[in-house]
Amino acid sequence: MEKKKEKIKETDLKEMSEKHALEKPHISEKATALPESGFYVFKVKDGANKKDIKEETEKKYKVNVEKVRIIKVPPKKRRVGRTEGKTKGYKKAIVKIKKGQTIDLSA
C-alpha cells in the first residue's frame, strides 16, 4: 500500500496562518507590567511569523502595531519519581502598539 501525500498549496498555508496566529494573552508577572509602556505579550502558533501576528493583532484589537518581537521558549525537562519527561515548548510574541492606544485583555 502506498500512502499518497496531499500537497498543501501555499495559499492554503497562508490562510491558515493568518486566521489563527494568536492563541491567547501570556499572563506572567513581567507581562502584566509591560502594558504601561505599550507592550503586550501573546502566546502564538509555531508557524506564525511577525507579519501574521501584526495583521491579526491590528484586526482583532483595532490598534496600530509598531513592532513585533518573537521568542521561542524551549521545552523544559521535568521529573516525577523515576519518570522523566518534558514540558511543551511554545512561541510568544511581544507586540508594541502606538502610544495612547490600549488593548483590553479581559475580553
How much is the pTM? 0.77
Distances (CA, A) of 77 to 84, 85, 87: 7, 6, 7
Statement: residue 70 has pLDDT above 50: yes
In one-letter notation, the amino acid at residue 83 is T
- Cβ neighbors of 4 (< 8 A, separation 6 or more) are none
In this predicted structure, what is the pLDDT of residue 17? 47
Q: Residue 25 forms beta bridges with which residues?
A: 42
Cβ(46)–Cβ(91) below 8 Å:
yes
CATH class of 12-97: alpha beta
Q: What is the pLDDT of residues 5-29, one digit of tens each?
A: 555 555 555 555 446 899 999 999 9
